[in-house]
Structure 1
């Protein structure tokens, strides 16, 4: 992981600037060094430049965007995967699944599959992978993100049969299990691995830490070989530099771009399922007063941020998930921009003894999305107009994660965290369990009443499930107000004319190399 760094950003002033803004080489012995930069055949290599280096390639952390964009469906694979276009859950390492009791699902495991180290993949390996990721004690991201505190009972009665049981009936268990990447039983059970072994079309060839990561075709891959023999990842924090690398022929694809970054005709805009919001650490005064939290929501000019700072590449948000996710409430509209009302709420809290002058930290991750610095400066300025005192802190990924995921650091004082959540599952339960429940992995607050409402909604199916989940999103801003939702985002990537690749709503979290093909010979 990169070391923790914090870069101070000057406090915004009520001046023209803000108003204008708003208007050591690792070469794997098992894989050899054939993927190193010196020996790469550029004609058979797809070159990708990312905003940041993956903090880890641990498969059970593939729900982290910076990890999943490299690992998922490239190095490792799950039992099933969701089609980002249709929303359907489709077979992958499992060929089928059925609910064989109220609390048990049975999966049929694909035969003839091997891991890249030659180890056979079977039901026992699947059971090991799920047990390690969900029931393990070393802090897998997928555990908190998808399963919460629930342990699973897994069994492999024969090589092609896997059973997974839950404490209570779970109508979407196969969807949850699709977030678990399969690893061989030789994988460390008590600690995360730096370089994984998987069943995917690629394996790690070399990782020159801080510089580049190279993948090469997995010779034991069970499916059709991918078009590119190799993939080379580099990372640059400056989005205009990433765009220029594609324009100048130094890379084939670059991600996390803004409209102003200079990709020109090579820029491709796509829906990325990400929703940006302020998470309010509601246990800390003055943020423990719901009037202050509601004032924060009123003070954020969503329309201005989307139009002036995101160049219209987004939509003001009223909830945590966009259209297309089960539970999205199409009737919800964003909170109106009303600084006067926000100021009144803050003043009412102050009159009741709440110390509204206490400095509030506004924390965000460097490079979270294009123009993030201008966005947080504008938000801080708007919150100060409402009568709050705000201090901006920009952090790198590793440090920001300590504030994003439980257990949160002690003694932090009041803070707002800019989060970006992408629901790739297609069901709001994943978002609610993680972000809205009192003990959610990335939730800082909640109420017993909302927890019960969520649990009751998630036990339903069909139209009743949709209606009940939508009601949760309608109730949360009135009764809890843990979030000030900002925007449903769109992504932009630059794509070389020599590469065929159509980005989709999953691209931000899972960029499948097997979907890329050469258009012409360089």
Structure 2
């Protein structure tokens, strides 16, 4: 600061002393305020976790929690189910229900947790649980959770008393408690004619603010029935580019970023973890030349999946053996990866050709651009391998809408034989969410099935316990040994970026359900 010119008279000196006193007082006051502001800002920053997603959630409606971008924010953070599945062990644990039992062939009875409050202060009880289930299954609500986890099953509910709920299904359902883990419980005041923007649940965090196109935030719910989470505020941001998401963490603009590729530059902040997402090629097994089993086997032998695991997927993951991954009820551990054997593939194609199979018929690979990192390159490798084996193959990459036309029934019928680039994940933890839909004769994402496999799937769906596990494993073995509709590739790994201020162990469900209560402040 520039000095005031001195005046050599006594009165001015006296004035200057008084002025200095005033200035010093003002400076001290300003500095104290600044220090207080910095302290508050630092405290607020330390109490906030910033998470950067790939996409902005289209909605925070809890019954849309099976949508990836919605579920990442809502599931187990804002809204909770009656039960909760442990993604690592597959165990079904208590949540808003403490106990449950099958009291008849078609009825399950749930004992509900006492002393739970919703974010609006109202009490959680059996009426709210019944209302939430019925609301999620209303046709006019068109909730994703209904179609994905309940299908055509008819469900009725009854609040026996405040702490007891009965749920009855039209046909016996041995995994109903698992299905209900995907239904977020909301108060009876929640609109049942339209999806809500600001959800109310019982979770450890409550909705705070949503600036559309910019960010949304949650805050800790002080009356939460369980253990209080470490972070008081959660701020969600979104950036479409993986390199930008990674840089936000390395530059301390975010604390956690998901859906990264190894080349996105997360550096020391990168954390790799397992997923249950399986990549594969789905064959049109009912159309020549793919209707010949030898050709389908040749496709499997011709794919160097070990090489693609190391190149396309940067060594993250493991070779896939089946659509139902490890850790999911029904997974068959006896099924092994197909070996890479180009000579065997060529021999099978030659044998089929000698028997009149039209192996020169053009087979189109239907790919999806950006489905996973280096997706285009992966399909080029598949094309080259199958061409070397003796097939006539071309690649057609498209956007998600074009790809969906070939994934979902009814598929175009004037197209010729296809190999569809596929990726399937089973976050629900039971093979029933994979088998009929993806491998059954009438499944919405199935290109081929048989009566024999349909019967095996149907028998497994009504079984329970070890019998259920064994029945689904048998159906998967039948698919692998007798039908060979798919060419399995890689069970992929995933990468996120994590700030050193946060302790967090991702699970196979992290890409769909990211529990902020499992994130802790790192010990200095």
Deviates more, 1:353-362 or 1:46-55: 353-362
Distance 2:60 2:392 in 1: 40
Distance 1:279 1:189 in 2: 39
For residues 201-212 of structure 1, what are the structure 2 equivalents within 5 Å? 201-212=204-215
- Structure 1 position 272 matched with structure 2 position 275: yes
C-alpha contact (below 8 Å) 2:409/2:445 kept by paired residues: no
Q: Which of the residues 368, 381, 396 maps onto 1:364?
A: 368
C-alpha contact (below 8 Å) 1:135/1:151 kept by paired residues: no
The alpha-carbon distance between structure 1 residues 57 and 41, as it changes in their structure 2 partners (threshold 3 A), is same
Higher relative contact order (CA 8 A, sep 6+): 1
Residue deviations 1:437-482, cap 9 Å, x none?
Answer: 3333543432222121012123333433332221111111344434
> Gaps (5+ residues) in structure 1?
1-37
SS at match of 1:256: strand
C-alpha contact (below 8 Å) 2:47/2:232 kept by paired residues: yes
- Structure 1 position 174 matched with structure 2 position 159: no
C-alpha contact (below 8 Å) 1:137/1:190 kept by paired residues: yes
Aligned to 2:318: 315
**1:222 CA displacement:** 3.4
C-alpha contact (below 8 Å) 2:281/2:420 kept by paired residues: yes
Aligned to 1:330: 333
SS at match of 1:178: helix
Distance 2:288 2:211 in 1: 45
- Structure 1 position 225 matched with structure 2 position 218: no
Distance 1:287 1:139 in 2: 37
**1:190 CA displacement:** 4.8
**1:294 CA displacement:** 4.2
**1:192 CA displacement:** 4.1
Distance 1:42 1:415 in 2: 52
Deviates more, 1:355-364 or 1:106-115: 355-364
Distance 1:308 1:99 in 2: 49
Aligned to 2:399: 395
For residues 73-472 of structure 1, what are the structure 2 equivalents within 5 Å? 73-134=76-137, 136=139, 139-218=142-221, 221-280=224-283, 292-339=295-342, 341-342=344-345, 348=352, 352=356, 357-358=361-362, 360-364=364-368, 366=370, 368-386=371-389, 387-396=391-400, 404=407, 413=415, 415-472=418-475
Distance 2:339 2:58 in 1: 38
Distance 2:483 2:137 in 1: 29
Distance 2:462 2:439 in 1: 16
C-alpha contact (below 8 Å) 2:215/2:236 kept by paired residues: yes
The alpha-carbon distance between structure 1 residues 132 and 232, as it changes in their structure 2 partners (threshold 3 A), is same
Residue deviations 1:268-295, cap 9 Å, x none?
Answer: 2222222222334556776566555444
Residue deviations 1:184-206, cap 9 Å, x none?
Answer: 33444455445533222223333
Distance 2:460 2:355 in 1: 38
Distance 1:117 1:402 in 2: 43
The alpha-carbon distance between structure 1 residues 461 and 203, as it changes in their structure 2 partners (threshold 3 A), is same
Distance 1:283 1:193 in 2: 44
TM-score by length of 1: 0.81
C-alpha contact (below 8 Å) 1:133/1:140 kept by paired residues: yes
SS at match of 1:254: strand
SS at match of 1:260: helix
Q: Which of the residues 493, 496, 499 maps onto 1:496?
A: 499
Give 1 or 2 for the bigger CA radius of gyration.
2
SS at match of 1:165: strand
What is the count of residue pairs matched by the alignment?
Answer: 481
**1:262 CA displacement:** 2.5
Distance 2:280 2:306 in 1: 14
- Structure 1 position 56 matched with structure 2 position 59: yes
**1:46 CA displacement:** 0.9
C-alpha contact (below 8 Å) 1:146/1:433 kept by paired residues: no
CA RMSD of aligned residues (A): 3.2
